[in-house]
Structure formats: C-alpha cells, structure tokens
Amino acid sequence: MPKEWDVFVSHASEDKEDFVRPLAQALAQLGVKVWYDEFSLEVGDSLSRSIDEGLAISSYGVVVVSPSFLQKRWPERELRGLVAREVEAEQKVILPIWFGVTKQEVLAFSPPLADTIAIKTEETDAEEIALTLLKIVRPDIYNQHPRADLEKMASGEALQKLQDELEYVREELAEYQCPYCKAPLSSRGSYELDAEIGVEVSIETYACGYSDGDEGLQRFCPSDPRFPKFEEFIMDTRESDGQWICYARPITKNARYLSLMRGIGRSEQEAKDQLFHSYERAAKKWTP
C-alpha cells in the first residue's frame, strides 16, 4: 500500500503543548507530511479507526516517549502497531524520542523500544529534532536545501517571509482591483473637464462596471449594497414612428449613478422588457 504520510506522531496528550505540537509544526513547515491528530482528525472521526489508518499509511512512526506516554493505553496500542509494522517490513519504522524519561523507565515499559537508538530532548529543541528526523524520513528535502534554509523553514521564518511577500503583493494589486468584488481594472484615462483652463480629471473603470475618479464616484459596483434596485427607477414609455421607447428615470440619489440603455420594442411591454434586461446586465455581479 502506498504511504500517504511520511510520519505518524504517537504521543500522550499531556505533551502536546510543551513539545509535540511544536515538533509537528516544524516538520510540516519543512515539507514533511505529518499524521498528527490536530492536523489530521476531523470532528466525527473514529479515533481508533483513524489511528489504525494513520499507522497503516505512514512510512515512519515518531514515538514521543514521556512519563505520561508510559501511563497511557492509547500510545501503547499505537506502539504495538508500529512494532508489528517494523517486524513485517524488516526495516526501521519506529523513531523514538525520549522526552523526560530514563532508559530504565523505557526498559520497564518496552525492552525492544529501550534497545532502539533514540533522540533525547534534554539539550535539543523541537526544531533541531525536526531537522534530525527530516534527514531520515525525507532525505530528498534535507539534501535539497542548505542547512541555514532548513533552519528558517523549521522555525517558520521562511513561511512568514513568504506570507509577508504575498501580503505586499496583495496590497500592490489592491490598487488595480475593485474594492467591493476584486474585479480587475479595465481602463484608466483622463478627459478635459474644462478645455479653456486646461483642467483634466482621471477616471478608473473596472470589469464589474464600478467607476471612480477625481470627480468622485461615477457608478456603483454591483456587489456594493448601495447599487440601486430596479424599483429605484420609473419607466417612462412613449410611442414614436410605430416604435415604443422606454426610458429609466431615477427617483433616488443612488439610482442617479446608473445610466441604463433605453428599451426599444414593437410594443410597450417589449420596450419595458428591453429596459429591464439592460438593468439585469448592469446589475450582474462580476465573477473571475
């Protein structure tokens, strides 16, 4: 069966805050696929079934052996599953970490586990241990990056830098997006407001129809709650040369910001329908 996870982290819940969570986060930031209950379990999941599945589809089992671990039944059950996997595969599967325990305590709990070379946490933090584990479980990643870069990845510094860069890009792009629906800028131009004195004003128009400029708002974005409803117009129809023409007369302040094409038809109703379709096109929200 192909392994979907690089490591399964077996631990006691009491050790999450002090050690296990930082370790799992550091591994994940290094690019390791970690089966860790806070990352992988969802509401409604069966704990026993999820653990069995995690064990079955993980390449390695990281076992955080602590005084709390030695007193728990679930970690012991997980450990038995890992031992069975190691015997069956005839290769290293269990990667023990001794967290505040002595060899005598581990020996009393599990002689095979005590006989396995373990990582000890007395003088090593979670990020350093994550790098040690990385060399075993994902040598491809370990060999791909200089040590200094790996340390930044494990600490989250590289991720934070990337997030800062993305935030900067978002701020830069915001200038070219509609503030209501993020539609891209479609045109930016200027026109003469007063030719005699040479006054020019600029106007920006976005793909959603939103327009704004030096003279203020020109047209609302359809996603703006202020975008006028059709009921904010009165339909004015008249007949001319055998055709019916329907105009939209704004009756609210917001409606004045929306110019609708007149409706033309062979009947009064057809002209009204054409005008309504013009409104529907204008009110259609932009989608990428």
- What is the arrangement of strands in the sheet containing 34-35, beginning at the earlier edge strand? 34-35, 5-10, 58-65, 94-98, 119-120
d(CA 22, CA 98): 16
Q: For residues 58 and 86, is the Cβ–Cβ distance under 8 A?
A: no
Catalytic residue among 4, 38, 78, 231: 78
User: Cβ contacts of residue 271 below 8 Å, gap of 6+?
Assistant: 237, 243, 244, 245, 246, 263, 264, 265
In the chain, how long is the greatest CA-to-CA distance?
A: 105
**Could you read off the pLDDT of 32-90 as tens digits, one per residue?**
999 887 655 455 545 456 566 667 788 888 888 888 888 866 556 666 666 676 666 66
**Could you read off the pLDDT of 111-155 as tens digits, one per residue?**
767 767 788 887 788 888 899 999 999 999 999 999 888 888 888
**Could you read off the pLDDT of 174-196 as tens digits, one per residue?**
678 898 999 998 888 776 655 55
Annotated active-site residue 215? The verdict is no
Q: Where in the chain is the domain with CATH 3.40.50.10140?
A: 5-155
pTM of the model: 0.52
Q: How far apart are the first and last CA of the chain?
A: 40
Fold of 5-155: Rossmann fold (3.40.50)
